[in-house]
Amino acid sequence: MRTNDPSRRGLIRGAGALMATLPLTQVKLAFGGQRQDINIAYISDSHIQHIKGNEFVRNWDRGLIRAVAETNLLLPKPDFVVFGGDLAQLGTKPELDHGAEILSALNADVKYVMGEHDYYLDLGAYWSELFGPQHYSWNHKGVHFVVLNSILTHKEWTFDRWPTAEQRMLEMAGLDNPNGSPFMVGAKQRKWLERDLKKVTDDTPVVVFSHSPIQKIFKHWNFWTDDADEVQALLGRFHSANVIYGHVHQIQYNRIGNIHFHSVMATAWPWPYPQSYAQAESHLPVVTVPMNRADPFHERDATGWQLIDVHTGRPTLSYKLANNTNRTVGPDPATGMPHDFDFQERQISAQDHY
């Protein structure tokens, strides 16, 4: 990583300054300007993939290495870093160890979220040895943060259906796979969440980190959490509730009731937008402006990382995209909806690569 490259350092410093100088009107509208900035760097979906011996898919490695190096250059330094899940491709020890080693270079507190690619080989056992609990919460600067494991599924599908753990993992690793099973948070974890949130007052901003969207967007690709409605009901009473998720490898944003939803990018590869797949019903949020993908043959096209500022209690996400136009999505004070600062009204039409 070119830590001494002045242009690179300037870019990162510029990004930090942008976050620190968000319009004060938003702060006043939300909380009278009493809240301190919270900056979170978010890295997700690295899909570290083992080939054999010490060999790993280089492109996925490079995506994560680059994200870690750039995160370490951030000014202001993030309050903490979230890794949003799918660290590994097939959940093996070599993959999780290799991913953990790359992430160990982060000079920040890191919060980990479970992805289905990390989970379905050994049901999260080795991941938990490395990174700790699969759901937890904490308070920071007046905001209540929660991590959920949203990629659980039915008992029958988890335990009984497959001849081997490897087979179960392979079925879950496929995007467009009718053998897949819907994700869910599950009754046990929802009970825990209900108890956890009892201690939190209605006017405390709540930010939930999950791997899958706690929304029903596109079941066919598991851009979907089956008990999303139940989880949303637990978040409904808060004046400011937010869900930030990975898994979809693309930018999405939405508001349902009082809950704002934002996705984060992958460091590995982009998925297409569900609306491009006409064979099944999809519910891409209407407020989402799909990202223009400049060059699908560029190795880092449509991947990137995010800086999140939640100083208003509503996150503003700054998407830094390799080989594409940077994006900022945050609350629109006029409508209360998530709003793409540059592209909501002037969407770039998709390029034709055929």
The DSSP bridge partners found for residue 340 are 329
Binding to Fe ion by residue 247, rule CB under 5 A? Answer: yes
Q: How far apart are CA 83 and CA 353, in angstroms?
A: 33
Per DSSP, the residues of 120-149 read TTTTTHHHHHHH--SSEEEEETTEEEEE--
Q: How far apart are CA 306 and CA 9, in angstroms?
A: 16
For residues 299 and 266, is the Cβ–Cβ distance under 8 A?
no
Residues between 90 and 149 that touch Fe ion (CB under 5 A):
115-116
For residues 309 and 17, is the Cβ–Cβ distance under 8 A?
no
Longest CA–CA span in the chain (Å) reads 58
Nearer to Fe ion, 115 or 274 (CB): 115
Q: How far is the CB of 134 from Fe ion (least distance, A)?
A: 14
Q: Count the site residues for Fe ion by CB under 5 A.
A: 5
Q: Which phi-psi region, left, alpha or beta, contains residue 186 (left: φ > 0; alpha: ψ -120 to 50)?
A: left
Nearer to Fe ion, 139 or 179 (CB): 179
Q: How far is the CB of 50 from Fe ion (least distance, A)?
A: 16
Q: How far is the CB of 296 from Fe ion (least distance, A)?
A: 17
Q: Which stretch binds Fe ion (CB under 5 A): 72-80, 86-94, 173-181, 307-315?
A: 86-94
Q: How far is the CB of 264 from Fe ion (least distance, A)?
A: 11
Nearer to Fe ion, 78 or 85 (CB): 85
Q: Which stretch binds Fe ion (CB under 5 A): 38-46, 118-126, 292-300, 309-317?
A: 38-46
Binding to Fe ion by residue 180, rule CB under 5 A? Answer: no
Per DSSP, the residues of 46-85 read --B-EEETTEE-HHHHHHHHHHHHHHHT-SSPPSEEEE-S
Q: Which stretch binds Fe ion (CB under 5 A): 135-143, 166-174, 187-195, 241-249?
A: 241-249
- Report the candidate in 261, 288, 321 with the shortest Cα–Cα distance to residue 70: 321
CA dihedral of 49, 150, 165, 131, whole degrees rounded to 10: 60
User: Cβ of 179: how many Cβ atoms within 10 Å?
Assistant: 13
Residues between 293 and 322 that touch Fe ion (CB under 5 A):
none
Nearer to Fe ion, 172 or 310 (CB): 172
Q: How far is the CB of 281 from Fe ion (least distance, A)?
A: 21
Q: How far is the CB of 86 from Fe ion (least distance, A)?
A: 4
Binding to Fe ion by residue 45, rule CB under 5 A? Answer: yes
Q: Which stretch binds Fe ion (CB under 5 A): 7-15, 130-138, 242-250, 315-323?
A: 242-250
Residues that bind Fe ion (CB under 5 A): 45, 86, 115-116, 247
